Structures are given as C-alpha cells and as structure tokens.
C-alpha cells in the first residue's frame, strides 16, 4: 500500500514512523514533512492546507490511504474533498471536526449531551465580555472560539488578566478570525490528563492515557505552548476514572453526534481535568495530540494501518489494541524564545550519539547544505522508555543532554506530577 501523511511536525513524524512498521505499507509520502521525516518518507512540497493539491497528488500517485495529522485541514474539510473523489482518508469530516474548530459548538454539544464541562458564557462582543469578567472579578478561563494553534486558551488568575485576555483575542485579534467569539468559563481545579480514542461512529476504543505539559518553563510557569513534553501512562487516570470517561464523556458525545446526523470517524482527543467531583472536559480535539502522540503511539503494539482501516470501514469492533507495558516520556527541545519570537537555521548536533532505544521525532527541522537545522519553535521530541515513569525520565534526559543547537530550551521536569504521585504512594 501507498500511504500519504499530511502535516510536518512531531506528531506526523511519529505517525510516519509507526505506519512504516506495517507489513502492508510499501511506500510513505509526507506533505510537507520536514528534515527528519525525510529520513523515513518521501517529502512532498505541498502545504497541509492545500486541500485540492493534496487530493490531486493522492489521485496521481494512486495513494491507498491518506492520514491527516493537523486540525486545520480537518476543520477545512479535507476529508469531505477526498471522499468526494473516492479517496480513502483517515480523519473526521468537517462537521465532526467542528468539535475542535469551534469552542462554542463543542460547549453547546456538551451541554446538550449532559457531558461534564465547566460552566461558561459565550460572547460575540468585546464590551459584553469585558463587563462579564469584571462582574466575575476573579480567576476564569478565556478561550478564542476558533483554531489558534493551541495558544488561544488563556488562564486568567484575576480580573485584570481576564480583561487583558478578552482584549488580546477580540480587539487586537491576536489569533485572527478565531477571536470573533470568546468562551469565558469557570476555572476548574485538578490535574489534567489527555485521553485519545479511535472511533468509527459506533465503536469506541481508547488509547493509553497521557499527560501533556503546556507551559514553557519548569514548574508549569510561563505562557502556554503547543506542548513541551508528555508521558504515558498517566497515574492519575485510574480504572475508575476510565470507566467514567467512557460512560459519561466519550459515549454521550460520539452517540449524541450520531443522533444529530454527524458520524464521527477517526481519533477523538478529550482533554480532561480530573477534579474532586470526577473528570470534566476542558476541550475536544479532532486528531492525534502533539506531543501526546510521541508517547502514546510508540506504546501501541498493534498495526496502526490495520486500526485506521477498521475505523474507515466501520469494523472497529473487530480490533483489539495491544500495548507495550513500559512507560514512555517525551521531552520537547525548543528554540530559544519560543513561544515568542525565535531564530531559525541553528545547526543541530548530537543525534548520532543517542542510544538506539531513544526515539527522536522531528517537529521543526530542515536540511540546509547537507546539515540538519532548526526551522520551527518546537524542534525535536525525544522519547525514552522505562519499566517505570521514573526510569523513563532518567533514560530520556540522558539522551536530551547529548543534543545541542544554539538557544536550545527544554523543560527539566517532564512527568513531575507522576513522580510526585509515586513518592506519595511509596
């Protein structure tokens, strides 16, 4: 089979790496790919948002399966376009992808389906939103309605920060049209966990839970990023919590959408807050998470291509997911200054010094004059394994320390909550 992976980040490199292991795969293309992906697939100079260009390519090359990584092409309707041309594609269609594409849509659906989520108000006018946060006069969360590359959610610690967030999103339009509306919601307290699941609209199969680290600095300080690291499994996600998540969150959403005439097929990502009252949904994503994919997919022993085909063909009930019992920890090496301004073109060294069991997934790299250089904010995702999370942490950092490029920045406390939880249980 010939496979096309759409996207060019660490998530897509992980998917390419995993799909390449399938006995059914003969050739993998990636559009646009990056410097590291080029070692595992043939990169195609087509942007992930070039929906018709990608469909033309898939037809020309007779691609057997296209796997869409990022949210932007999914919400823009790439699946609808491919299906209209008779092309096999993995991911939800545009209607289903609204679950991520519009915070307002997601909150309204959750309210209607009885899914636990924070109390909220929607505003299309900045003055009204400002008046509301002044009335709240305390901590809250301000969210841009549309896609904002993971940076459109602002946790305001007080009224002043909430007002600043509203102005940034709605008046300054820091996230463009994503800021036409905002959701202002209650600030939930607890520990976050990411739960991904495959679904064909009828059957739901959850993946191993993980925990992302969104803040740029140690101790969960600084601005939100696209993610500075992740680990799996997440000890906070107990078997009891899993049962509640499936029964109270995933099933009501998937089956509720189906009742509304929206068949969700692909991966659904539930970002949860584990509170004293149980799991609450912070957000839904319509695709694999990044960097969660870099720890969850390497732990999946099953053939990913076979699972994806089962989703598309609506026979997911025939599939059993097998898991590597080892823990996995991913540390993101970022450019200095990220998520703000940063320089590109810094030469990357040390990758050839890593042990073979340390995986490196490229996010923002390029080839320049035969050398691997930085080309993005998040540059590399380095994943290590261990019998325990503590073992995996030691293993991955022993690898990260061998990698260098000018201005390299990474958090040194990935998996700190799991380690603290382990100490408390000892």
Same domain, 289 and 375: no
Is pLDDT larger for residue 356 or for residue 188? 188
Count of domains for the chain: 4
Are 166 and 201 in the same domain? no
Q: What is the pTM of this model?
A: 0.95
Domain span at residue 130 reads: 120-185
In-domain check, residue 163: yes
Query: Are residues 40 and 125 both part of a single domain?
Result: no
Q: What are phi and psi of 155, to 5 degrees?
A: -90, 110
From 160, 185, 210, the end of a domain falls on 185
Identify the helix (H) or strand (E) that includes residue 392: helix 389-400
Query: Who's near 130: CB < 8 A, 6+ residues apart?
Result: 163, 166, 167
What are 245's two structure tokens? 């998540």
Cα(209)–Cα(168) distance, integer angstroms: 33
What does the alpha-carbon distance between residue 40 and residue 15 come to, in Å, rounded to a whole number? 11
Q: What is the pLDDT of residues 334-379, one digit of tens each?
A: 999 999 999 999 999 999 999 888 999 999 999 999 999 999 999 9
Which CATH number characterizes residue 382's domain? 3.90.600.10
Residues 296 and 397 in one domain: no
Is 177 found in the same domain as 205?
no
Residues 221 and 311 in one domain: yes
What mean pLDDT, rounded, does the chain reach? 95
Of the two residues 328 and 155, the one the predictor is more confident about is 328
Q: Which CATH number covers residue 46?
A: 3.40.50.20
**201 and 303, same domain (yes or no):** yes
Residue-level length of the chain: 426
Residue 177 lies in a domain: yes
Last residue of a domain, one of 35, 58, 93: 93
User: Does residue 307 share a domain with residue 226?
Assistant: yes
Domain boundary among 298, 318, 338: 318
Residues 195 and 298 reside in one and the same domain: yes
Q: How many CA atoms lie within 13 A of 300 on its CB side?
A: 32
User: In 254-283, which positions are buried (b, 16+ CB within 10 angstroms) versus exposed (e)?
Assistant: bbbbeeeebbbbbbbbbbbbbeeebbbbbb
In this prediction, residue 423 carries a pLDDT of 53
Determine contact, residues 295/231, Cβ cutoff 8 Å. Answer: yes
Over the stretch 22-38, which tens digit does the pLDDT of each residue have? 999 999 999 999 999 99
Cβ burial, residue 33 (10 Å; 0-12/13-18/19+): buried
Residue 389 lies in a domain: yes
How does DSSP classify residue 97?
H
Pair (221, 294) in one structural domain: yes
The answer to whether position 109 is within a domain reads: no
Does any domain span residue 107? no
268 lies in a domain? yes
- Note whether 342 and 411 are same-domain residues: yes
Residues 392 and 294 in one domain: no
């Amino acid at each position: 089979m010939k496979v096309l992976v759409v996207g060019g980040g660490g998530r897509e490199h992980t998917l390419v790496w995993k799909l390449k292991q399938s006995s059914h795969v003969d050739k993998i293309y990636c559009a646009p790919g990056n410097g590291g992906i080029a070692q595992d697939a043939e990169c195609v100079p087509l942007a992930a948002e070039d929906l018709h260009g990608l469909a033309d390519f898939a037809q020309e090359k007779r691609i057997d399966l296209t796997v869409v990584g990022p949210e932007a092409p999914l919400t823009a309707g790439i699946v609808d376009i491919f299906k209209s041309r008779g092309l096999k594609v993995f991911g939800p269609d545009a209607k289903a992808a609204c679950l991520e594409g519009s915070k307002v849509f997601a909150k309204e659906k959750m309210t209607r389906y009885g899914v636990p989520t924070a109390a909220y108000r929607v505003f299309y006018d900045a003055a009204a939103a400002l008046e509301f946060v002044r009335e709240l006069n305390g901590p809250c969360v301000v969210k841009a309605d549309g896609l904002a590359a993971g940076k459109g959610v602002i946790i305001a610690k007080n009224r002043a920060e909430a007002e600043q967030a509203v102005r940034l999103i709605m008046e300054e339009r820091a996230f463009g049209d994503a800021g036409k509306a905002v959701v202002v919601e209650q600030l939930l307290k607890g520990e976050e966990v990411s739960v991904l699941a495959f679904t064909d609209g009828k059957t739901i199969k959850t993946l191993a839970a993980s925990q992302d680290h969104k803040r740029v600095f140690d101790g969960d300080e600084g601005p939100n990023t696209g993610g500075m690291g992740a680990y799996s499994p997440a000890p906070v996600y107990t078997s009891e919590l899993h049962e509640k998540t499936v029964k109270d969150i995933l099933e009501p959403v998937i089956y509720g959408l189906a009742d509304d005439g929206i068949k969700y097929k692909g991966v659904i990502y539930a970002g949860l807050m584990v509170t004293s009252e149980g799991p609450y949904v912070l957000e839904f994503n319509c695709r694999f998470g990044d960097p969660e994919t870099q720890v969850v997919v390497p732990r999946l022993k099953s053939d990913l291509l076979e699972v994806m085909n089962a989703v598309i063909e609506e026979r997911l009930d025939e599939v059993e997911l097998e898991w590597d019992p080892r823990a996995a920890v991913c540390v993101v090496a970022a450019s200095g200054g990220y998520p703000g301004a940063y320089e590109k073109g810094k030469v990357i060294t040390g990758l050839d010094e890593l042990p073979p069991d340390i995986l490196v997934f490229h996010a923002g790299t390029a080839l320049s004059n035969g050398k691997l250089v930085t080309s993005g904010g998040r540059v590399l995702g380095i994943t290590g394994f261990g019998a325990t999370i503590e073992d995996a942490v030691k293993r991955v950092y022993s690898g990260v320390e061998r990698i260098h490029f000018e201005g390299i920045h990474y958090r040194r406390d990935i998996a700190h909550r799991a380690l603290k939880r382990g100490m408390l249980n000892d």
